[in-house]
Amino acid sequence: MPQKVRGVVARSKGAPVSLETIIVPDPGPGEAVVQVQACGVCHTDLHYREGGINDEFPFLLGHEAAGIVESVGDGVTEVAPGDFVILNWRAVDGTCRACRRGEPWYCFSTHNASQKMTLESGEELTPALGIGAFIEKTLVHAGQCTKVNPAVKPEAAGLLGCGVMAGICAAINTGKVRRGDSIAVIGCGGVGNAAIAGAYLAGATTIIGIDVDDRKLQWAKEFGATHTINSREQDPVEGVQALTDGNGANVVVDAVGRPETFKQAFYARDLAGTVVLVGVPTPDLTIDLPLIDVFGRGGATKSSWYGDCLPSRDFPMLVDLHLQGRLPLDKFVSETIGLEDVEAAFEKMHKGEVLRSVVVL
Ligand SMILES: NC(=O)c1ccc[n+]([C@@H]2O[C@H](COP(=O)([O-])OP(=O)(O)OC[C@H]3O[C@@H](n4cnc5c(N)ncnc54)[C@H](O)[C@@H]3O)[C@@H](O)[C@H]2O)c1
Ligand SMILES: [Zn+2]
Ligand SMILES: [Zn+2]
């Protein structure tokens, strides 16, 4: 029997989100219904509401979640009712051209549920990142459920489902930060501070947090930043060079995603270093760089989708590191809130008051 539950919907561009009754179908073949326990508020949810991702309103927001599998459809073997899982937006198909090349973290045809959740009117919802988890129960593809050690708190674990994963592995997987490296991270929100935590885990010895907000820089220090720069007060390129013998950092992560921050990242890295763009630009933004500098500075400019992660490999590993006391996932949780508080959480995010507000159900 389809279930009626409460969920957070963005009905139109820029309009405040609303709490709606949503119809969740029983899981079909390959699908699972998950009872959501916690879901973080990511900047990407706000991008959806602002129409910055696409126009497929109404959106069911929320995508950084953990919960318990309630029921599964025919043919599902990887998870069973009662399993504690983190939801992922990279359920690899194993057969696309990226998977066939042995690079499943780029999978170009990831699985999502085939049935739709709807409003009571029957109008179909577009779930954010194919998940939609500001809701009591959600319908996903079973491959989107990654089992992890249930000893972890759901509100900390869920953050690995998007922003914290994206940040940690933008440093470790995409930037390939190694022991002894220098790294600078521009934008120390949830994603940027996770990149700092990732660089710390990987053994980087110079870790520079850059933001326009001193509160974020204070948090950056708690995640392992050895130095911080407020880029309203100091030129970040000169600042990074001064901290790296005049050379620039081996890796610079842009966790904001604007032309000015990308340029700062491009010029703050050492020759032959790596720039990693993890912040998501809006479609109107363009960049103008001297081509001679693109050539002459060498190295790599990469973008990082979800930290080039493989959920089945990386989620359990990062949960284990957290449970061993080596990854302070709980420090990303600034506050826990209810489903009715998501709009207020966007406001707090906008004002820079939180790293992550997490809806707890
Ligand atoms: N690539 C991915 O897979 C992926 C995954 C999750 C989120 N994201 C994106 O990452 C970005 C960051 O997300 P978040 O949740 O951490 O957001 P957030 O709002 O928590 O953090 C953004 C930070 O950037 C800072 N900032 C803003 N403008 C700046 C500037 N000009 N210079 C320096 N700092 C500046 C803010 O003060 C804030 O601390 C967003 O664009 C989000 O959509 C990408
Ligand atoms: Zn694939
Ligand atoms: Zn996200």
Could you give the C-alpha distances from 84 to 36, 70, 88, 268, in angstroms and in order? 10, 10, 13, 42
Q: Which two tokens stand for residue 78?
A: 């990887």
Please report which confidence band the pLDDT of residue 219 belongs to, taking 50, 70 and 90 as the band edges: very high
CA atoms within 13 A on the CB side of 11: 8
> Which bound ligand lies closest to the C-alpha atom of 213?
1
Number of Cβ within 10 Å of residue 67's Cβ equals 27
Q: Cis peptide leading into 236, omega within 30 of 0?
A: no
Which residues lie closer than 8 Å to 38 by C-beta, 6 or more apart?
65, 66, 67, 153, 154, 155, 157, 158, 336, 358, 359, 360, 361
pLDDT in tens, 63-92: 999 999 999 999 999 999 999 999 999 999
**Residue corresponding to tokens 């209810």:** 338
pLDDT of residue 139: 98
pLDDT of residue 161: 97
- Tell me which residue has its CA closest to atom 10 in ligand 1: 279
Per cent of the chain over pLDDT 90 is 99
Mean pLDDT across the stretch 334-360?
Answer: 96
Please report which confidence band the pLDDT of residue 322 belongs to, taking 50, 70 and 90 as the band edges: very high
How much distance in Å is there from the Cα of 296 to the middle of ligand 3?
A: 34
- Tell me which residue has its CA closest to atom 26 in ligand 1: 187
pLDDT in tens, 325-335: 999 999 999 99
Q: Is the CB of 357 under 6 A from ligand 1?
A: no
Q: Which two tokens stand for residue 199?
A: 């660089």
Name the DSSP class of 291. Answer: H
Which residues lie closer than 8 Å to 203 by C-beta, 6 or more apart?
178, 179, 180, 181
Cβ contact 55:72 at 8 Å: no
> Which bound ligand lies closest to the C-alpha atom of 255?
1
Q: What stretch of H or E contains 86?
A: strand 84-87
Please report which confidence band the pLDDT of residue 243 belongs to, taking 50, 70 and 90 as the band edges: very high
Could you give the C-alpha distances from 221 to 77, 181, 204, 356, in angstroms and in order? 43, 17, 14, 17
Number of Cβ within 10 Å of residue 216's Cβ equals 21
| Phi, psi for 92 (deg, rounded to 5) | -70, 145
Q: What is the per-residue DSSP string for 87-140?
A: E-S----S-SHHHHTT-GGG-SS----SS--EETT-PBPEEGGGT--SBSEEEE
Mean pLDDT across the stretch 175-201?
Answer: 98
pLDDT of residue 70: 98
Rounded Cα gap, residues 18 and 125, in angstroms: 13
β-strand 356-360 against 31-40: which pairing, if any?
antiparallel
Of 340, 329, 334, 337, nearest in space to 354 by CA: 334
Q: Is the CB of 329 under 6 A from ligand 1?
A: no
Q: Is the CB of 211 under 6 A from ligand 1?
A: yes
Give the 3-state secondary structure of residue 196: helix
Cβ contact 110:177 at 8 Å: no
Of 43, 44, 58, nearest in space to 13 by CA: 58
- Tell me which residue has its CA closest to atom 39 in ligand 1: 189
> Which bound ligand lies closest to the C-alpha atom of 94?
2
How much distance in Å is there from the Cα of 94 to the middle of ligand 2?
A: 5
How much distance in Å is there from the Cα of 95 to the middle of ligand 2?
A: 5
Q: Is the CB of 349 under 6 A from ligand 1?
A: yes
**Residue corresponding to tokens 């002894």:** 180
pLDDT of residue 140: 98
Q: Is the CB of 348 under 6 A from ligand 1?
A: no
> Which bound ligand lies closest to the C-alpha atom of 259?
1
Of 274, 282, 333, 335, nearest in space to 308 by CA: 274
Rounded Cα gap, residues 164 and 42, in angstroms: 10
Q: Is the CB of 279 under 6 A from ligand 1?
A: yes
pLDDT of residue 33: 98
pLDDT in tens, 285-318: 999 999 999 999 999 999 999 999 999 999 999 9
- Tell me which residue has its CA closest to atom 20 in ligand 1: 189
pLDDT in tens, 33-59: 999 999 999 999 999 999 989 999 999
Rounded Cα gap, residues 267 and 260, in angstroms: 11
Name the DSSP class of 173. Answer: I
pLDDT in tens, 102-161: 999 999 999 999 999 999 999 999 999 999 999 999 999 999 999 999 999 999 999 999
How much distance in Å is there from the Cα of 25 to the middle of ligand 1?
A: 34
- Tell me which residue has its CA closest to atom 6 in ligand 1: 163
How far is Cα of residue 261 from the mean position of the Cα atoms in its chain? 19
Q: Is the CB of 163 under 6 A from ligand 1?
A: yes
**Residue corresponding to tokens 């947090």:** 209
How much distance in Å is there from the Cα of 42 to the middle of ligand 1?
A: 9
Best residue among 64, 196, 211 to mutate for probing ligand 1's pocket (most ligand atoms within 8 Å of CB) is: 211
pLDDT of residue 342: 98
How much distance in Å is there from the Cα of 317 to the middle of ligand 1?
A: 25
Q: Is the CB of 267 under 6 A from ligand 1?
A: no
Q: Is the CB of 189 under 6 A from ligand 1?
A: yes
Q: Is the CB of 255 under 6 A from ligand 1?
A: yes
